[in-house]
A and B are shown apart, each in its own frame.
Chain A
Amino acid sequence: MLNKYPLWKNLLIIAVLGIGLLYAVPNLYRPDPALQVSGESSGVVIDQALMTRLSAALDAGGIEHFGEKANETGKSGLIRLYETDVQLRAQRIVQRTLGDGYVVALNLASNTPAWLSNLGAQAMKLGLDLSGGVHFLLEVDTDSAIATRLEHYSSGIKKKLREERIRGFVSLDDGIISGKFASAELRDTALGLIRKEFTELTGERLDSADGDDSFYLRAIIGEAKRKEIEDYAVSQNLTTLRNRVNELGVSEPLVQRQGRNRIVVELPGIQDTAEAKRILGKTANLDFRLEAKYDAPLSEREQFEFRNPGRGEPSAWLERDVVITGERVANAQASFDQNGMPQVNITLDSQGGTLMHRMTRHNINRRLGVLFIERKSRTHYERDVEGVERAVKVPYDEKKIISLATIKDALGVQFRITGLDAPGEAAELSLLLRAGALAAPIDFVEERTVGPSLGAENIEKGLNAVKIGLGMVALFMVVYYRVFGVIAVVALGANIILLTACMSLLGATLTLPGIAGIVLTVGMAVDANVLIFSRIREELRAGLSVQHAIEAGYGRAFVTIMDSNITTLLVAVILYAVGTGPVRGFAVTLSLGILTSMFTAIMGTRAIVNFVYGGRRINKLAI
């Protein structure tokens, strides 16, 4: 009985710890508070000259800063600051120097050395409860997306029946399209037509009630199609929300689908929740308007610029009356016409189709303009009564024409815009048309805002709890188990390093419940060692020799440790699967902690014990 670990086992432990240390280390480099500068549109170039100008402005404002650097791509630049307190003041100065057209976002600049980041080592991300910011949970009203689509089908069927001269009465009620006909033949022809032309619908005959000489059919949207519409509405809204979040100028936003019809938006560092909600929640920002006649009085027309100038005319006059708004756009797709020319197919909802038809049938050969409206804000500075300068944001709508095309025919629910120069233009136009409106209305169902001071306090208190808890446990273990206690404490330290490394490597987000999970892991990680050590003590008492007692202690305790840890792991997995937000953060740290603690508390301590006591004759153990 030698209690020696083979070389490969020792090497494995050292290697795992080494790698763990490497990936845990970035968390020690505290990030600098920083400002990130970027252009509102992709055309704006951020170069070193601009950064020098900003640097001079900050110097003039008496704000200490360093490491101002433009990104190689020319799309963004970074200015580091020494203090978090001056971040907001610095943001005002920089925004003022730059003027409108730039986004200045508060940021935390990583200080991880380049060689570490090249290895993929990065500090853990902090959750909103630690960094401060806003969390929104939005619910997409998919029912309304389906209702819109049903209206579209219902009017399509009416139109088709009219064209085929099938007389009947079609109505839409409670998600069901029903038809009423005077004879069985009419009903069957209509049903055949629906089945042929509207394949997404499931149509069927209905029995007539006694004494009723009408014949009925009904059509509903199939389950698969219904799901497709829902998915489309959610993913469409996701795209739109991403575009809008970019407008807010947040450095690391998160826009993510959650569950069937919900979207999570997380905006670190944002304080102005009202503004954020207004931008995220707005609906229509597209107008369809007719081009104004030359002789129309000024009160009835307005001049707008083109979004993409360079087509001869820089601007055009449109009527003040709006035909329809972007809310009525159900879908827009880029495609090609029969001659291979790019075009955009637009689908409106039924109400939009009616309005469009009414307006266009008398205005053939006039031009129809599509106006894209972006909410922007202009900043000016004024002094309040105490002489403190305040930035005042005045929001305004920037309206630009994205398309002006001649009406060749009366337009209805579906029409297309042709005469585009390139497929790229068609793609962009369709994107703008779709981004202009949310595919379905959204509701805010949950909001959590954490102020920056609370976040900082949460980190501080959480870390303090970890330190104090760890200290007390370490003290107790050393007093109670002496040399073995020291070994257990070393293993506990290694466990925290490994846990940090795993979380950083997996890109897990550290939250307050996550810190609680770490604290609990500390308590539970010593359990494995307590099991082993008390077993060794028992075996010694039973009269086993030192080396045999160590071997038996580890061997017998192993089964127990496995059983208890696997069951706890099962519970952690359930927590993760069922829970959301804070519960998940806790589950992640708890389960990772269980896994790393098994490694350090069993293999790690055994390696040290073998190193200290193994391979020689010992009569007494300090345990």
Chain B
Amino acid sequence: MSDNVKMINFMGGRRIAMFISIAMMVASVAVLAVKGLNFGLDFTGGTLIEVIYEESVPLEQVREELSAAGYESAIVVNFGSDTDVLVRMPQGMSPTLGEEVLAVLQAGTEAEVELRRIEFVGPQVGEELREQGGLAVLLALVVVLIYVAMRFQIKFSIGAVAALGHDVLITLGVFAVVGWDFDLTVLAAILAVIGYSLNDSIVVADRIRENLRKLRKHDAVEVVNISLTETLDRTLVTSGTTLLVLLALAFVGGEMIHSFALALLIGIGVGTYSSIYIVASLLVTMNISQDDLIVVEKEGAQIDDLP
């Protein structure tokens, strides 16, 4: 490989990028602390009834019917279309609530009211799901930290985990700001973001490691820049194709997985940026150098085949 390698000076803007990332993370933490996530039924417990009317009904009328029947705390919204009505009740209600509400709604109109779904989650189940979710995210981060530290080196590990934390935090932050429902499927999406963003970070880290060993004449910043330039094509193509399918999910996949797709879209968008700027610039900040990779692993047999 020749010395005049193509290189985009990514690291030149790393201070600005760092500043933006830190600002975004601080903002996310602040929003999460002040406003908090709009937890869905899965985590709060309660009852949710989705019905579809033959023709659209004014929500105000549905609210009045419910409140006349004694369900003052019911939250009534449209779901997807104006004939589709979602009724949410706070926790602490009885398990038979679903049928009762359906009966009230049916009584209030001439037209047929078709039941789409009833979900009831007991308060203790909601609490458990919340705990399990947090545990899953933490566990995933720790396992990743250990695996990357084993396969690469502790500096790479810190970089990768910092990028994951960054992506998760900002995705959560966006959910908090916009006030989208945070339910079990969104949690699954967050965990998928961890898996995906990791994928990206590892590809970049892998190339930095390879080039650190190969390009001994360049300093660390240059090596990182060269590696990022080399992987840029792949990073953009992969993110691009994944975003394509996610757009398909978000727009035609239906209401039930809409927020799942949204969470992934945000997470993967941020993840693409973080694999370039967080992992790499943290490595530069931690003064990554050839000396960090003393244990040289076998590079595979293909080296011998080179002309």
| Chain A residues in the interface with B (C-beta under 8 A) | 1, 129, 137, 139, 271, 273-274, 277, 443-451, 453-454, 457-458, 461-462, 464-466, 468-470, 472-473, 476-477, 480, 512-513, 515-516, 519-520, 522-524, 526-527, 530-531, 534, 537-538, 542, 544-545, 548, 551-552, 555-556, 559-560, 563-568, 570-572, 574-575, 578-583, 586-587, 590
Contacts and interface: CB of A to CB of B under 8 A. Distances in A.
A100 to B, nearest CB: 25
A520 B248 CA distance: 11
A515 B260 CA distance: 12
Nearest to A532: B234
Name the 7 nearest CB pairs between A and B, nearest first: A469-B245, A523-B242, A461-B254, A445-B122, A469-B248, A571-B195, A578-B136
Interface of B: 1, 50, 52, 95-96, 98-99, 114-122, 124-125, 129, 132-133, 135-136, 139-140, 143-144, 147-148, 151, 184-185, 187-188, 191-192, 194-196, 198-200, 202-203, 206-207, 210, 230-231, 233-234, 237-238, 240-249, 252-254, 256-257, 260-261, 264, 300-302, 305-307
Nearest to A473: B241
Contacts of B115: 271, 449, 451
Q: Tell me what chain A mostly uses at the interface: helix, strand, loop, or mixed.
A: helix
Contacts of A450: 116-117
Given A277-B95, A469-B245, A571-B195, 8 more contacts: A274-B99, A451-B116, A515-B257, A524-B199, A552-B302, A564-B198, A574-B140, A575-B191
B210 to A, nearest CB: 8
Nearest to A281: B95
Nearest to A526: B241
Given A137-B125, A446-B125, A582 B241 contact: no
Nearest to B134: A578
Given A447-B119, A453-B116, A516 B252 contact: no
Contacts of A526: 238, 241
A447 B253 contact: no
A559 B196 contact: no
Given A469-B245, A559-B300, A574-B136, A567 B199 contact: yes
B256 to A, nearest CB: 6
7 contacts: A444-B122, A465-B245, A524-B242, A526-B241, A551-B305, A571-B192, A582-B188
A523 B302 contact: no
A570 B143 contact: yes
Contacts of A542: 1
Contacts of A476: 240-241, 244
A574 B249 contact: no
B203 A129 contact: no
A279 to B, nearest CB: 14
Contacts of B114: 451, 453
Contacts of A590: 192, 195
Nearest to B50: A454
B95 A447 contact: yes
Given A451-B117, A563-B151, A519 B305 contact: no
A526 B231 CA distance: 15
A526 B237 CA distance: 9
Contact of A579 (B52, B188, B194): B188
B206 A563 contact: yes
A231 B271 CA distance: 46
A559 B194 contact: no
Nearest to A583: B188
A580 B43 CA distance: 13
Contacts of A462: 253-254, 257
A566 B257 CA distance: 26
A591 B237 CA distance: 22
B161 to A, nearest CB: 11
Contact of A457 (B188, B200, B254, B264): B254
B241 A477 contact: yes
Contacts of B125: 137, 445-446
A551 B305 CA distance: 9
B5 to A, nearest CB: 9
Q: Which of B194, B206, B238, B245 has the largest number of chain A CB atoms within 10 A?
A: B245
B85 to A, nearest CB: 13
B194 A571 contact: yes
A273 B99 CA distance: 8
Nearest to A475: B244
A103 B55 CA distance: 36
Contacts of A273: 98-99, 118
Given A513-B185, A526-B238, A581-B184, A449 B260 contact: no
Contact of B237 (A454, A464, A530, A555): A530
B223 to A, nearest CB: 16
B52 A568 contact: no
B149 to A, nearest CB: 12
A449 B185 contact: no
B287 to A, nearest CB: 23
Contact of A522 (B122, B144, B245): B245
Contact of A458 (B140, B254, B306): B254
